[in-house]
Structure 1
Amino acid sequence: MASKPDLLVIGAIAGAHGVHGEAKVRAFGDPAMIARYGPFLDPAGKVIFTPKKARHSGGETVIVTFKEPVTREALIAMKGTLLHVPRAALPEPDEDEFYYSDLLGLAVEDLAGEPLGTVKAVNNFGAGDLLEILPPEGPSFYLPFTKQAVPHIDLKAGRLVANPPEAEEDEDDEARE
């Protein structure tokens, strides 16, 4: 049995553009680069579409023309379809930059080394990236993905150090007393 390819999600079909088989694609990275990483794949690694041309249309949206024939109706039906590429097709992130998929499953410790849980998801609800942390017990909680709240990430060791904002508030209260 073949192993599952190492894929990353780089965008999603947002709908059709015009009547000539162009798609609106929401880019989850640099919109100018989305069509340069090769074919768009499904989660199993099968080719969905091969981008031929792309042009930035503002914000996170890119208008993409494909090598494969596709109808407006098919693109509308595929709205929300995630587009994957092989991880090897993407550049290595710069220092202090991370692919979200690299953060998932990392152990989370506080500044004293006490376990807080694991990274369950990375979300952005409009006010910046948030790490959803699943503690050993109880409901998950969110941690701002900032240098102040997450001062250290060690991907090789599979962990990150967190300085939750509540801890900072507690320290401020103790200093006032």
Structure 2
Amino acid sequence: MGVIGKPHGVRGLVRVNSFTAEADALEAYPLTDRTGRRFALAWLHDNVAQLSEVTPHGKRPVTDRTEAETLTNLELFAPRSALPEADAEEFYLADLIGLRARSEAGAELGTIAAVHDYGGGSSLEIMPGSVLVPFTRAAVPVVDIAAGHVIVVPPAEVTVAP
């Protein structure tokens, strides 16, 4: 959902890179890090926020630069149940992981192991073989999350062995 960036000032404020459609929405989600620590944030301006760790005793704000520095590059996650339902023809990329990949003829090609996005568009990694296929309508014309599979029509330069 977001990544904590560098500290801002000396009072524990941090820059936060939000990956939500609207950056302000990040404030509404119950956030955790990879270890399960819970966080809340309050936007102050631009991408600067006051971060608090949520403990059994309540919110404990980060109040000094030294503590804020220890949080640099910390990834923030929200539970899938807290996210709104995707619209038709829209997908949460995380929901694609684990789907079976099939050819147009129905041959099993493997399983989507990861979704990568290096800035030029998303690609699906199909295992076994670690084959990358662009996640475009031309290369992946059918996504059926309910049925647990996608149809893959790889570009000519990509070989996916059934």
Task: Provide TM-score, normalisation by structure 1.
Answer: 0.75
Report what 1:100 is aligned to. Answer: 93
The alpha carbon displacement at 1:121 in A equals 0.9
Higher helix share: 1
Q: 2:130 aligns with which of 133, 136, 140?
A: 140
CA distance in 2, matches of 1:95, 1:112: 25
Report what 1:171 is aligned to. Answer: none
- Report how many residues are paired: 149
Q: How does 1:94-173 map to 2 (within 5 A)?
A: 94-135=87-128, 139-166=129-156
Tell whether the 8 Å contact from 2:10 to 2:65 is kept in structure 1 after alignment. yes
Report what 1:63 is aligned to. Answer: 48
CA distance in 2, matches of 1:28, 1:101: 14
Runs of 4+ in 1 over 6 A off after TM superposition: none
SS at match of 2:91: coil
The CA deviation string for residues 7-57 of structure 1, in whole angstroms up to 9 with x for no partner, is xxx1121221222222222222222321122x321345441x2112354x3
Tell whether the 8 Å contact from 1:111 to 1:163 is kept in structure 2 after alignment. yes
The alpha carbon displacement at 1:72 in A equals 2.0
* Aligned: 1:21 with 2:6: no
The alpha carbon displacement at 1:134 in A equals 1.1
Q: How does 1:33-112 map to 2 (within 5 A)?
A: 33-37=25-29, 39-43=30-34, 45-47=36-38, 49-53=39-43, 55=45, 57=46, 62-67=47-52, 68-70=60-62, 71-112=64-105
SS at match of 1:33: helix
Tell whether the 8 Å contact from 1:104 to 1:120 is kept in structure 2 after alignment. yes
CA distance in 1, matches of 2:66, 2:12: 9
Greater mean alpha carbon deviation, residues 25-34 or residues 139-148: 25-34
Report what 1:4 is aligned to. Answer: none
CA distance in 1, matches of 2:40, 2:156: 47
Tell whether the 8 Å contact from 2:103 to 2:109 is kept in structure 1 after alignment. yes
